[in-house]
Amino acid sequence: MAERALRSNLARGTSPWATRRAQWRALGLTDEEMERPKVAIVNSSSDLAICFSHLDGIVPRLKAAIRQAGGLPFEVRTAAPSDFITSAGHGGRYILPTRDLIVNDIEVAVEGALLDGMVCLASCDKTTPGQLMAAARLDLPTVVVPCGYQTGGRWCDAHIDIEDVFANAGRVPTGELSVEDLAGMADNAITSPGVCAGLGTANSMHMAAEALGMAPPGSSPCRANSDKMWAAVDWAGRRIVELVADDVRPRAVMTPGAFANAVAVMLASSASVNSVKHLQAIADEAECDVDVWGLFASLADDVPLLTDIRPNGDRHVDELDAAGGCAALLSRLSPLLDLDATTVAGRLGDVLATVQVADGEVVRPFDDPLGRDATILVVRGSLAPGGALTKRAVVDTRPMRFSGPAVLFHSREEAIDGLHAGRIRPGDVVVLRGLGPHGGPGMAFASGFIFALEASPLAGTVAVVTDSQLSGLVNKGLVVGEVAPEAAIGGPLALVEAGDTVTIDLDRRAVDLDVPPDVLAGRRTTLPPPPVRTRGWLSIYDRVVGDPARGLSLAGDPTPAGDQGRAGDPTPAGDQGRPATR
């Protein structure tokens, strides 16, 4: 293992050296320990959710592994958002912006202390992209450890997990399910720590970290507190000290080829649609010249679908785990991959040389896939010139083309009320707008409305177009999300009026507003000014959030219209009782 000077070893006799020495001697550290490579254990933990509840128990073992390898570990904490807990306030608008809080939490702790490397404990949806973004920004040797998924339970002699609870909540207002039955499902859905037991955003991003080369090989997905997880923890503790000594940095790992590898895994597994913006944000922080949206579009027809894990199919995530997980998918995808890509374990081709696929039905061969139709689609058109995203199921019977009159709503609650009041009819296109990164601010969730729609008699007869985001567990109905530019900054979505014809054509990868340009130009002159907000984290996010094409990263210039005086009172502008219109 090569030796090199450590940035954490400050010049002796200086004020920073002396004051830090005083602090660390008081912690019981020896002179010898203070000369070691200093490694941050980034722990995004919280008592608020079961997702994180085991992370504190991982830290002592990881510290021991780092010490045994010759390093000096320091645990640091970050914000810890849970999509099912932190989403209660302000319509879920805090969820996405907290990803960027994590990035900055890490920067302050690790860069402020001039530590030498990081091991990040990845858990719920926003922690993994936040940690990878920080690794890309700081460019310090880093290993991301996927800390595993939760196990489901049984209810009424059937399997139950958090996805079932989320989906079935929409059946209560229709009377199909009682509150007592929903409570019974909720009480039995989770039987261990860890992230959602499906191929939602959390498990998708765990696999993305491995495909990028930033996680221990063979570590995702894994059951929380399993032997597989503990083996990854031990490996990371040993390996990070070697990476620091050899100066292997994230920007040498997260190359254009690595991002293409990660996109291939996302497409081959029909992963969360949220992986698009997260991977783009990571690339932006790495200053890597790669268009992730373009990769999803260009690779969509080349990458075969090799597995069908819920919510996109019928199999459970533990089946993918047992079959070999992300490593098995990478092995199958070898003909399409950059095998010379560097990973934290070495050259990707060498890492995959010993990989065995344990179940060829769960992870299908490259030339005998489940299908060749892309399930994550980038769509554009007159209604989304900056792009939008839609997700198709493994077996999808939805029409490839849908055209109908627009019915407008400005919050998920307003849309749900409109659904139950009968203001949505078969053939309508629900336009749910003003919920993007600026309009939220913070990009609200439309998922509650989508599940309510699917639980109603209108399921399959209505399409949805929105500038909000969707949960990674949503794979229901014909939904076009994250429309850009968003309505709040004057995107075409803001110009839609009730009754306008909206057309979605998945064959053409298009979403269009069928209104003459001169009419739209006239409507633009009557758009109201953006609201002025002055306080809170969401106001800061509103001012500095970047373009969707860059993953909504805070690293670059904000969307130009973001500087028009919106300063962000956290009260969402869309929740002020505006009536639905037809």
Contacting residues for 231 by C-beta, under 8 A, at least 6 apart: 216
CA distance 373 to 395: 10
Report whether 69 contacts 86 (CB < 8 A): no
52: nearest Cα among 215, 249, 192: 192
Give helix then strand counts, H and E, for the chain: 20, 16
Phi, psi of 391 (to 5 degrees): -125, 135
CA distance 143 to 235: 10
286: nearest Cα among 334, 235, 310, 252: 252
User: What is the 8-class DSSP label of residue 110?
Assistant: I
> What's the token pair of residue 571?
């009260």
CA–CA distances in Å: residue 282 to residues 139, 312, 415, 492, 562: 12, 25, 33, 28, 21
CA–CA distances in Å: residue 324 to residues 83, 217, 284, 479: 27, 11, 30, 32
> What's the token pair of residue 492?
């075409």
Question: What do you get for the CA distance between the two ends of the chain, in Å?
Answer: 68
44: nearest Cα among 188, 202, 168, 177: 202
Cβ count within 10 A of residue 559:
23
Among candidate residues 45, 471, 539, 553, the one labeled active-site is 471
Cβ count within 10 A of residue 139:
15
Chain position carrying tokens 């995702």: 220
Report whether 356 contacts 316 (CB < 8 A): no
CA distance 343 to 332: 18
471 is catalytic: yes
Report whether 205 contacts 275 (CB < 8 A): yes
Beta bridge partner(s), residue 478: 463
Cβ count within 10 A of residue 89:
11
User: What is the 8-class DSSP label of residue 111?
Assistant: I
Phi, psi of 372 (to 5 degrees): -120, 5
Beta bridge partner(s), residue 387: 484
Report whether 99 contacts 217 (CB < 8 A): no
Contacting residues for 180 by C-beta, under 8 A, at least 6 apart: none
CA distance 140 to 121: 16
Tell how strand 384-391 and strand 376-381 pair up: antiparallel
461: nearest Cα among 480, 483, 482, 477: 477
User: What is the 8-class DSSP label of residue 206?
Assistant: H
Active site residues: 471
